[in-house]
Structure 1
């Protein structure tokens, strides 16, 4: 056959599918691309280049879908081999540059992709099904991970499944914006899905499918065993320290990191652990006896949602002070206060971990990065300061003006033994600022409960007003603060966040003013649970030429700081510039209130006032004032940390199971 005859024959075999179902699906595809272009244009400045790229991907996708033409089997196999690579590249570049990844990690991630595609192919028997399932699943996880990173500055980790309900409860308060880069990534996933479906490779021998499916478990076993080996980082260079989940994912890739994280779903038993050893460490503590005060002070502990001072990241100007009262406390201008900064363990989310550290005295340093003990590890009971206070005769309250099931609080607060537990719908005052109960209404509710409680009163309260997102406009919120920079411009997120800090500041001033007039002795301990997400403070980073993905250890620790103070309406010893981590904060509170420390508090006090004056999930500060990562701790500090971990493990895993 001549070349001309072959060309005629080929043209006769090529035709455009014009059946009604195919035209409808093509119209849906076109609509999807139109929505992507429209959303990117809406949320970002118009870009002719990006618009042309999206239009080109759209035309190519529609052409591949609509045109029927013969494709050589070799070409189909090549497409089937290229698509997993394309999915890997598209997925990873959603959240970081490929250049940040370790070469071995790239190869391991690619191996995972090929294993997944083959595994599903052997089950389905044809690529038209397996490619659709795999590409769609990877696209959904990838885009979901993109938004998770954007909203909380950390990627998806295995234990997020436990907090899925909590995440869904606040999801409607976020703006899921699509910029040009995200739109192009989604478009590429759509293109790969269509190409994958059109490969249409079949495994006709049905008897082979179950055999091959089971056989795929063998490489999976060796793959996981390799990743879960001891001394992985030393042997391979892969990062499994869980120091920073976002950093770990940028080095190891998503799926390798995810598999590594699964290894940490259970609390790891500490080195040298035994029940007897942990108890001996507690029993050897020399508890200093204190005389119970004649009048026990009321104690109000307020952990304010996302309350922080972004100026710790770098100074900037505003049209007016966004927290004048709290700043005056930090400067030592308010009588009877202890003030400074708390070094918290979380950033941009996982609020429950900050309250966990305060109430239990346990440290998140001994848990996998990103884990949430409220959801993962607490089943039968948990030792906290609540029973200690109840032994003094305190009536105890655990309150939060949002949904009871968030972070499993309804169950956890019951296990902790709070006398009263109140959530949204049962607060005396529930006026809202934006979509959340305002701090003003929250604090008024605290005063209402206090005034109606006889005897010593303990309130643990987690506010909700300042929860993200900070992009929306509301009729009941008039932002007051505008940030000003020399080398960049502010954004609406930072301005609205600072305006919320201003509202909280005014409400704190009103609360303390009201309590100062009371004849009941009262202590208020107040701190922020964490700083806001990266997108809020981006202008500060731009102003100072900082990079979220390449922070020094000291810069990372600055992202963990939130203001704290202890205030009393009677004379206490005043202090300023105090640095403290939340696992130590209840010690300072008890000593200020004149209450007896127990053996665990005494053990931690010796660390706090000795060689480890601050420690959080990121690292610790030594007695010379230097910030140190845990991997770099000298042997003496490692031994102290091991003792702490042994006691914490006993209190988490053994104490209540023995009582039960």
Structure 2
């Protein structure tokens, strides 16, 4: 009987050891994951260790979240070592993405970045340097070793009933923390979690990546503003109609266009900014003579962009709709997430006025979902990269000069007045590729050779953008066809990791955006805009204006009838010309980190108007019979290009992955 007992004791002992190793893995793996993720995220061992020591509760909270992710993967795979490997691959990859996003554009990895399908591939060329490859290689090496060990060591499987139970618990926990269930919210509060929605870099730095990422999941759903209901919107509609009538009466003026409808051309030049603003740098010649001349001769100023270094579509969204990114989750992309039905925009407004509205972008039509969004915004047509016939390239992208030629060709071949919204591509980053071979404009200053090369490449793109603007001015000046041009950048360029060129040149004092003063924050989001017209228009200088107010401002500036919601934008901009999520500029140019009490009521109305049109029940359109608020998709959208055969067959259409804006 003794041999039989020893034989029975063997499996029992093995199960005991298996249970011990599984429990040990569940205790150790989350701790190692938190350390690894935070080390990657912070890029510094000292900062990582300091955060762990100073925030034991937050460290534990992050470990608990990583544990639930690990348990969910373990329940699905049922094998310990492959589950550890996949957990490392998943969480460390997210941390790498967040690290490089912060380095490039100052924003971490958000839950909704997962839905940036092909767009996300455009960050790859920016992270293929030796240091990045070494980090990524180390992670992949660890994953490979674990997978190899899984073939040599016992599999440590879970029983099917245990797997189901563990999986359900993990799903429940992850879901509860993600949607901020009451019990989960109370638990996170006790663990010291403090969400900083308005500054996501600080949010991730203080709370840790796993916790900050989880807290952001609920932010993918935009909450209904307090007080939003039909009676409130009915009262607001009545107020808007009264205010619009008063505004139009007060601003009534002689028609500067003598009854003719001018072409209205908006040109959003990729990453256009004025590098001569860098204080400790000189240039061998003026890189932007046209813009500098227009700043003296015509209406001009600075736009307060919601973006830095990328996210062009969010700037488009603000300009075209008059709505603000400040009311949406940090890092969200309305073109990808929210716009799936007709939305009032400048395109629909000009169509209703008898214009032909066209969008022109010298890159792929699918990028940022533009081909679908422009349709919902009421554009008649969209000319993307595929519709350029044998275009000239500068570097990897269609040149700004080629875009100017397309604008001229479209206006000259159309009998109707045109509203054209143009997005260029030539001067897209990164700028360390020496894309032009040599740069005529030389930069002098206390810069490293790498920073000097980056700045000179960027400056050459600025010069080409400026020259393309002058080309348009010369053409319409010669033809005399009434035309208004609005030219501006979408955001400041990303000039090296950690705002390298900006700090070396003394434009800002630190490469850590969470440490910027309000004045530095304003500078890093202020892009120049200039206007030109061959008709005499009033000249004004605007020290700051949010992108969301630009469309309304220009309609008013040209003496055009404003829809009710855009009339409110004009009214609000006179009290608060600038608004970002973490910066407000009032009429006296005072800076605030949040909306001051004196402006909260006005901003709340602005928020309700936006929510009603984008997410709500469109009560406003019910009470205001404005065609602007009741826009529909045009039945002939893009028909002129859809019916044409593909062109540009001699040009290699496969651009490298440096693509368009970095995802954020």
Question: For residues 188 and 648 of structure 1, do their structure 2 counterparts lie closer, same or farther at Cα, with a shift above 3 Å needed?
Answer: closer
Question: For residues 504 and 420 of structure 1, do their structure 2 counterparts lie closer, same or farther at Cα, with a shift above 3 Å needed?
Answer: same
**What TM-score do the two structures reach when normalised by structure 2?**
0.80
* Structure 1 unaligned blocks of 5 or more: 1-70
The alpha-carbon deviation at position 133 of structure 1 amounts to 1.6
Q: Deviations over 1:10-44 (max 9, x none)?
A: xxxxxxxxxxxxxxxxxxxxxxxxxxxxxxxxxxx
Q: Is the 8 A contact 1:396 1:457 kept in 2?
A: yes
From 596, 612, 615, the counterpart of 1:650 = 612
Equivalent in the alignment of 2:37: 91
Equivalent in the alignment of 1:628: 592
Q: How does 1:99-114 map to 2 (within 5 A)?
A: 99=50, 103=55, 104-114=57-67
Question: For residues 145 and 225 of structure 1, do their structure 2 counterparts lie closer, same or farther at Cα, with a shift above 3 Å needed?
Answer: closer
Matched, 1:547 2:511: yes
Equivalent in the alignment of 1:267: 222
The alpha-carbon deviation at position 645 of structure 1 amounts to 0.4
Instruction: Work out the CA distance in 1 between the residues paired with 2:388 and 2:353.
Output: 26
Matched, 1:575 2:549: no
Question: For residues 308 and 275 of structure 1, do their structure 2 counterparts lie closer, same or farther at Cα, with a shift above 3 Å needed?
Answer: farther
Question: For residues 217 and 411 of structure 1, do their structure 2 counterparts lie closer, same or farther at Cα, with a shift above 3 Å needed?
Answer: closer
The alpha-carbon deviation at position 239 of structure 1 amounts to 4.2
Q: Give the number of the structure with larger relative contact order, counting CA–CA contacts within 8 Å between residues 6 or more apart.
A: 2
Name the count of aligned residue pairs. Answer: 580
From 327, 334, 341, the counterpart of 2:292 = 327
Q: Deviations over 1:395-432 (max 9, x none)?
A: 21111111111111111111112122211121356211
Instruction: Work out the CA distance in 1 between the residues paired with 2:606 and 2:187.
Output: 25
Matched, 1:486 2:446: yes
The alpha-carbon deviation at position 643 of structure 1 amounts to 0.7
The alpha-carbon deviation at position 282 of structure 1 amounts to 3.2
From 208, 212, 220, the counterpart of 2:166 = 212
Aligned to 2:220, what secondary structure does the other structure show?
Answer: coil
Instruction: Work out the CA distance in 2 between the residues paired with 1:345 and 1:582.
Output: 8
Q: Is the 8 A contact 1:135 1:193 kept in 2?
A: no
**What TM-score do the two structures reach when normalised by structure 1?**
0.80
The alpha-carbon deviation at position 584 of structure 1 amounts to 0.9
Instruction: Work out the CA distance in 2 between the residues paired with 1:392 and 1:128.
Output: 65
Q: Is the 8 A contact 2:104 2:309 kept in 1?
A: yes
Matched, 1:244 2:199: yes
The alpha-carbon deviation at position 459 of structure 1 amounts to 0.8
Matched, 1:447 2:408: yes
Equivalent in the alignment of 2:582: 618
Aligned to 1:461, what secondary structure does the other structure show?
Answer: strand
Structure 1 stretch displaced more, 120-129 or 73-82: 73-82
* Structure 2 unaligned blocks of 5 or more: 1-16, 623-629, 633-664
The alpha-carbon deviation at position 237 of structure 1 amounts to 5.5
Equivalent in the alignment of 2:80: 127
Q: Deviations over 1:503-526 (max 9, x none)?
A: 211222222122222211111001
Instruction: Work out the CA distance in 1 between the residues paired with 2:464 and 2:311.
Output: 23
The alpha-carbon deviation at position 181 of structure 1 amounts to 7.1
The alpha-carbon deviation at position 441 of structure 1 amounts to 0.3
- Calculate the aligned-residue CA RMSD, in Å: 3.0
Matched, 1:178 2:112: no
Q: Deviations over 1:479-513 (max 9, x none)?
A: 23343333755343222112211221122222212
Q: Deviations over 1:425-470 (max 9, x none)?
A: 2135621111111110001110111111113221111111111222
Matched, 1:142 2:142: no
From 322, 345, 359, the counterpart of 2:306 = 345
Equivalent in the alignment of 1:45: none
Q: Is the 8 A contact 2:271 2:490 kept in 1?
A: yes
Instruction: Work out the CA distance in 2 between the residues paired with 1:543 and 1:392.
Output: 47
Question: For residues 214 and 452 of structure 1, do their structure 2 counterparts lie closer, same or farther at Cα, with a shift above 3 Å needed?
Answer: same
Q: How does 1:235-634 map to 2 (within 5 A)?
A: 238-285=193-240, 286-287=243-244, 288-289=248-249, 290=252, 293=257, 294-312=259-277, 314-330=279-295, 332=296, 335=297, 337-428=298-389, 430-474=391-435, 478-486=438-446, 490-533=451-494, 535=496, 537-544=499-506, 545-549=509-513, 550-610=515-575, 612-630=576-594, 633-634=595-596
Q: Is the 8 A contact 2:30 2:64 kept in 1?
A: no
